[in-house]
Structure 1
Amino acid sequence: MAPTNTSLQDYVDYLKTGYWQWSQGRDYKLPDLDVAIDLRGLEDNPAQLAAARLAMQQWSAVVPVTFREVTDGAEIIFENIAPGAFFTQASKLLNIGQTFWGGNFQPGGYGFQAFLHEIGHALGLGHGGPYNTGGYYWTDAIFTKDVWPYSVMSYFSGEDAGFGSSAYATSPMGADIAAILQKYLPRGTVVAMNTGDDIYGFGGREGFRFGPDGLASNAGFAIHDTGGHDVLDLSGSLYGCRIDVRPGAFSSVNARGYNIYIYPGADPSPIEEVRGSNSDDRITGSAGANTLLGHGGDDVLRGEAGGDRLDGGAGLDQASYETSATGVEIDLRGGTATGGDAAGDVLSGIEIVVGSRHADRLTGNDERNALHGGDGDDTLIDGGGNDRLVGGAGRDRIEGGAGNDSIDAGAGDDTLAGGAEHDAISGGDGADTIDGGDGSDVLDGGAGADTLRGGAGIDTASYATAPTGVAVDLSAGRGTTGHAAGDRLEGIERILGSVHNDTLTGDAGANALTGDNGNDALCGNAGADTLVGGGHGDRFIYAAAGDSTVAAAGRDTIVDFWSGEGDRIDLRLIDADGNAANGDTAFILGTGGFTGAGAEIRVVQTATLRVFLVQADIDGNRIPDFAILVSIVQDLGAGEFLL
């Protein structure tokens, strides 16, 4: 029978009484939590004696139990006379063999955990399921929570249930604490535990102390702390840590899974300060005022409610307000924060900010920032540097600044502005207004009727992500098909089409039109245009002789002409003899010099391999009237022209 995912309280109830009812038909408990113990049976083994004392100390650190050493009338009698580990109710004998787990009883090993386990039996806790002396998680456990991260009374490591690489417990765990408190104290009793200024982790007291390697790195413990300024220090860890100090939360540290538990006691903010490792950490604070120190690595800090201090340290660090119930306002220039979970926060060493699902205002600083607004109508302001600004859903207002910025507004009708340098701006879905500002910018309006203003510089309207072909005409300043439908374009010099069939038309200036894949139609109009068809069969259309002049200043360049894919140069709209009154005259393609007959085209090899000059004599004076520079993949012959 597979374990059942029931509530933690169901599991606690089984530890309290369920196991005893299954195994012996009656409950077992001591009269109270003032417990008389006899340690004389371990005096011949100093390591076991020290382990027993520390194990009792660890129980007393998380529940209000007192252990008194006596020589007569003991309620727990420690011995090591038999192999194995067990507690016998009738004789009060708690036995752990001297060679149990290789005779190693240091914290962080199974030998020490066995002392915690057997003391739990002596205090009245059973196993977490109907098993004894052995078992297999998937057949013997009845609760999914019946694993070491929840209880030292379990037989099963967290790995059995997918909790990652398990640690050995160095204290009773969360379900053990709850079971003892409920078994011995009236419901609702407020318990004060560890009310001083305590350190857990690296630099902490024994039993709650980590080391960088060996058994000391393999510890797992629960923290039940109700007062003082308390620190969880993972600064010595060699691995990135996932730390969460909210009551009832687990942390996974030192390359172990779910090995620190914050018991939900009387203090809603049991840990006031967290020190991360020099690797990539994710640190979540509690409802109180926390200090979260990321140290080295690329860290994610989430302070939750309360006036928190978030210090990312070295690396590329993030302050996250994703769970804030209301919008936040963050200004990295001064490290100030207001609104929602950010109220009272002070930020330093933070390069990335993630806003809430509400209306946020996020401002960067001179460093390289990433600002993510999330849902809501957000305002994102670049403080300088090469930044990434992401609006998310909602009607966002995003302002770039100095530096080469990447702006992605997401869904919604957004207002976006680049800054002084070369920006990449994407509007996403919705009717967006995009102003590139100074610099050579790339503007992608996405779906919706967008307004794209290039501003100063050589600016590009990009439709590279469009799901269907587009039609864009810079001379009219309009888009009419697909993602371009309804778009208005101003100050745009370049167009990047989709991977589908596009129609791209330039204006009187020098344009660059790139069709990308698809069967595209490119018409540069006047000016020295650069035309790139991309893959598949493209048409390069010329409507007048003035569209590409003999002089280089107004001459077009076709960059990737490939006849094998169906590329064609289309001259059918040009009146070949220059006299529209006498009807249409077609060009004639020749191989030698002009004959003076007019309406002639010739292809001339330039000094560069596979670069040809296409020239046309319209009026018959043997002088070219227009010319196109063509870079080809295959030879350029009569079949490559539409005349």
Structure 2
Amino acid sequence: MMSMSSGINSIDALAYSSWNSVPGTAVTLTYQFLQSPPRDATSDDAKGFQAMSFAQQQATRAALNAWANVANVSFVEVTSGGQLRFGTNDQSADNSSGYAYLPEPGVAAVDLYLNNRGYYNSVFTAGTFGPAVLLHEIGHTLGLKHPGNYDSAGSSVDGPFLPTATDNTDYSVMSYRYSSAFNNRYDTTPMLYDIQAIQYLYGANMSYHTGDDVYSFGSSQAPVCIWDAGGNNTFDFSACFGATQIDLHAGAFSGTGNGLANVSIAYNVTIRTVVTGAGGSTVTLNDAGNVMKGGSGADVVRVGAGDDIINTGDGIDTVVFSGFYGNYAIVRTVDQVRVTGQGTDLLSGVEVLQFADKRVNVSDLLLAGQGGPSNGNDIFTAMPGNEFIDGGLGLDTLVYSSARGASQIRASGKGYTVTDASGSVDVLTGVERVLFSDGAVALDIDGASGQIYRLYQGALNRAPDSAGQGYWTWAMDRGLALVSAAASFAGSPEFINRYGALDDTQYVTLLYNNVLHRAPDDAGLAWHVGVLHTGLSRAAELLNFSESPEFQASVAALVGNGIEYTPYG
């Protein structure tokens, strides 16, 4: 009957023995209500013995069901010969609420005794001490020990034990310790580690709550751990009148108020929908794709990796994303905001978006298709149909899901048009970059992208390769000075291998040939060599040529419809 170690502390601190020799094997146990002490009872067992009252028997059946709900343990009531035997006795000398024996090799039956001198063992309202005593003691009869180094009659065993931080009744009904947020409400189910351990011993009950279940909680909720075998399940905290902390991850805790951790989710359980109340909630979503329905409070919602639908309701509500702002595509319409980056999240009723590096007011985001300009670095997602998008100031990017070859980009007036295969036309103003599924086009020919293009021509006498254009543009977007980029070009292995070591006259002559495609005139050559002799760097001299009005005009036709590049990073 002894169980094998799992190697997991939260299991091994509880799972001591089993009615089976192989962990994870289902079991059916018989039980009986004793009418007199059994023949093998000790003197302590027999002291003041009384049969359980009707109320105690009903509460015992309910506690057995609570364990059967979570594990493959079935119970059959018999009048004699039960493997689990229940009674009461006088434990006033030990001031104990009850005790039970654990299954051991060669033992056909184990006994459980409630203290019949304790008034609490006659009151079985959910959340009071009496039901928790029965859950605890029945846990012993199934093979669970105490998770801490303390003693009780009939269950004195060695470790391992839980660390102090988790040795409390939030984690296990088998614990003698209460959490720091204990509010005189007692466990109503086997708790997080209890369920994990009992399922290790006997397997999980995969037929319990397989439908779409709604779990409702109020502010005075007694501690509970939710085991649910399937379905699209909902946590409803709308009856809570204060602030709540909600976490939808399996193995996580939620609180109905006052810093409580009184609602937990068993491992391997998925909760998909959450409803909050009026007191303001902090909600952490899981990665399964959640639906949130907010109340009138100010909610803070942390998204996971799934595709979430979040309606925060009234109040000043914030949705928190773990990544940097630039890693997300954001589209705002009249009714909602769509954020793509941690899955695709559809938001309504949300006032603030919080990223790892910045905070964004939803009211400052552009409405898709309206094109009201902003001063930030905006990311737009192209929508079906004809759109007008004005990025305003900043470095603005338009993202298409299609491949580059599906769209044609043309300069038009002060901006550009993007025409797709269906004939839809997007008009862009103040947009610097366009991203496709397989490439990108830079439209800032008067900005960093155009400067890098002209550096390639001036220093290396060639058009940039796509990856190189992408890298140097990326570097300048992040603060690299143009003169530093020019120095890197002039000192590059490609430059040196192509031209060798040049004196100032040869260097200036090269720039005339590469940039202006002509030999230098005598006066021009003398002037440029002279400024180098006065201390001007060769990088700065390169920029005098590559950024000259004459050269910009000569390459305008080559870059007028944008510059192809491969995004870096």
- 1:319: which partner in 2? 319
Q: 1:111/1:348 Cα in 2 relative to 1: closer, same or farther (>3 Å)?
A: same
Structure 2 residue corresponding to 1:249, chosen from 234, 247, 252? 252
TM-score (norm 2): 0.52
- Residue 99 of structure 2 contacts residue 152 of structure 2 at CA under 8 Å; is this kept in 1? no
| Change in CA separation of 1:332 and 1:248 when aligned onto 2, cut-off 3 Å | farther
Q: Which residue of 1 aligns with 2:62?
A: 54
User: For residue 153 of structure 1, what is the aligned residue in structure 2?
Assistant: 174
Which residue is 1:349 aligned to? 349
1:153 Cα deviation (Å)? Answer: 0.7
Deviations 1:117-156 (A, max 9, x none): 0111010000002211399xxxx97543211111111100
Aligned to 1:175: 193
Summarize the alignment of residues 151-550 of structure 1 with structure 2, pairs less than 5 Å apart. Answer: 151-159=172-180, 165=183, 167-185=185-203, 191=206, 193-202=208-217, 210=218, 212=219, 217-255=220-258, 257-265=260-268, 267=269, 270-322=270-322, 326-331=327-332, 333-343=334-344, 345-356=345-356, 363-364=362-363, 378-379=377-378
Q: Is the 8 A contact 1:306 1:342 kept in 2?
A: yes
Give 1:336 shift: 3.2
Tell me: CA distance 1:38–1:333, structure 2 relative to 1, closer, same or farther (3 Å): same
Match in the other structure for 1:107 = 126
Q: Could you say if the C-alpha distance between residues 318 and 111 of structure 1 is closer, same or farther in structure 2, counting changes exceeding 3 Å? A: same
Deviation of residue 329 (structure 1)? Answer: 1.6
- Partner residue, 1:93: 111
Report the AA paired with residue 34 of structure 1: T
Does the 8 Å contact 1:166/1:258 carry over to 2? Answer: no
Cα distance in 1 for partners of 2:199, 2:186 equals 23
Deviation at 1:58, TM superposition (A): 1.8
Q: Distance in 1 between matches of 2:81 and 2:394?
A: 74
Shift of residue 250, structure 1, vs aligned partner: 1.1
Query: Aligned in 2, Cα 1:152/1:44: closer, same or farther, shift over 3 Å?
Result: closer
Structure 2 Cα separation of the partners of residues 346 and 75 of structure 1: 55
Contact 2:52/2:87 (8 A) holds in 1: no
Q: Say which SS state the counterpart of residue 169 (structure 1) adopts.
A: coil
C-alpha distance in 2 between matches for 1:296 and 1:8: 46
Aligned letter for 1:56? Answer: L
The RMSD of aligned alpha carbons is 3.6
Cα distance in 2 for partners of 1:101, 1:127 equals 24
For 2:183 and 2:330, the matched residues in 1 are separated by 39
Distance in 2 (alpha carbons) for counterparts of 1:8 and 1:73: 35
Give the C-alpha shift of residue 73 in structure 1: 2.6
Q: Distance in 2 between matches of 1:76 and 1:246?
A: 35
SS in structure 2 at match of 1:59 = helix
- Superposed, 1:602-621 pairs within 5 Å as none
**Does structure 1 conserve the Cα–Cα contact (< 8 Å) formed by 2:275 and 2:295?**
yes
Whole-Å separation in 2 of the counterparts to 1:98 and 1:52 = 14
> Quick check: 1:158–1:166 contact (8 Å CA) kept in 2?
no
What is the SS of the residue equivalent to 2:264?
Answer: strand
**Whole-Å Cα distance in 1 between the matches of residues 237 and 360 of structure 2?**
32
State the SS of the aligned residue for 1:61.
Answer: helix
Q: What is the aligned counterpart of 1:37 among 15, 31, 41?
A: 31
Give ranges in structure 2 of 5+ residues lacking alignment.
1-5, 36-49, 92-96, 367-375, 381-392, 397-569
User: TM-score, structure 1 length as denominator?
Assistant: 0.47
Q: Which residue matches 1:560?
A: none
Whether the 8 Å CA contact 1:303–1:310 is kept in 2: the answer is: no
> Per-residue deviation at 1:105?
1.9
In 2 relative to 1, CA 279–141 (structure 1 residues): closer, same or farther, beyond 3 Å?
same
Q: Distance in 1 between matches of 2:232 and 2:184?
A: 29
The structure-2 alpha-carbon separation of the partners of 1:67 and 1:255, relative to structure 1 and needing over 3 Å to count, comes to farther
Aligned-pair distance for 1:110?
A: 1.8
Secondary structure, counterpart of 1:176 in structure 2: helix
Counterpart CA distance in 2 for 1:128 and 1:8 is: 15
1:122/1:353 CA distance change after superposition, 3 Å: same
Q: Mark the CA change 1:366 to 1:99 in structure 2 (over 3 Å): closer, same or farther.
A: farther
Distance 1:76 1:322, change over 3 A: same
Structure 1 residues 343-375: Cα deviation after superposition (integer angstroms, max 9, x where no partner): 1x22222122213559x99752799xxxxxxxx
Within a 5 Å distance, the mapping from 1:576-591 to structure 2 comes to none
- Residue 98 of structure 1: how far off its partner (Å): 4.3
SS of equivalent residue, structure 2 residue 238: coil
Q: Is the 8 A contact 1:63 1:180 kept in 2?
A: yes
Q: Which amino acid aligns with 2:209?
A: N
C-alpha contact 2:298 2:315 (8 A) present in aligned 1: yes
The answer to whether the 8 Å contact 2:337/2:348 transfers is no
Segments of structure 1 that go 5 or more residues without pairing to the other structure are 1-6, 18-26, 203-209, 368-376, 382-394, 399-643
- For the residues of structure 2 that align with 1:350 and 1:248, how far apart are their CA atoms? 28
Provide the residue aligned with 1:9 in structure 2.
8
Report how many residues are paired.
334
Residue 236 of structure 1: how far off its partner (Å): 0.9
**Structure 2 vs 1, CA of residues 357 and 279 (structure 1 numbering), >3 Å: closer, same or farther?**
same
Corresponding letter in the other structure for 1:16: A
Aligned to 2:528: none
CA distance in 1, matches of 2:175, 2:86: 21
Query: Who is 1:71 aligned against?
Result: 79
Q: Give the deviation of 1:297 after TM superposition.
A: 1.1
Cα distance in 1 between the residues matched to 2:262 and 2:184: 7
Where do 1:551-590 residues align within 5 Å?
A: none
Structure 1 contact 327–357 (Cα < 8 Å) conserved: no
**Identity %, equivalent residues:** 28
Contact kept in structure 2, 1:245 and 1:271, CA below 8 Å:
yes
Once the two structures are TM-superposed, the CA of residue 14 in structure 1 deviates from its matched residue by 2.0
Distance (whole Å) between structure 2 residues aligned to residue 305 and residue 193 of structure 1: 28
Please say if residues 285 and 304 of structure 1, whose CA atoms lie closer than 8 Å, have aligned partners that are also in contact.
Answer: yes
1:117 corresponds in structure 2 to 136
Change in 2 beyond 3 A, CA 1:191/1:141: closer
1:286–1:304 CA contact under 8 A, matched in 2? yes
Give secondary structure in 2 for the equivalent of 1:15: coil
Higher strand share: 1
CA distance in structure 2 between the aligned counterparts of 1:85 and 1:229, rounded to whole angstroms: 39
Deviations 1:152-177 (A, max 9, x none): 11100012xxx565742111111111
Report which structure shows greater RCO (CA 8 Å, sep ≥6): 2
Distance 1:378 1:38, change over 3 A: farther
> 1:518 corresponds to which residue?
none
- Contact 1:77–1:93 (8 Å) recurs in 2: yes
Deviation at 1:72, TM superposition (A): 2.7
- Tell me if the contact between 1:330 and 1:338 (Cα under 8 Å) persists in the aligned partners: yes
Per-residue CA shift, 1:55-80, capped at 9, x if unaligned?
22222222222222122331212223
Q: Given the superposition, is the C-alpha separation of residues 126 and 330 from structure 1 closer, same or farther in structure 2, using an over 3 Å criterion? A: farther
CA distance in 2, matches of 1:294, 1:8: 41
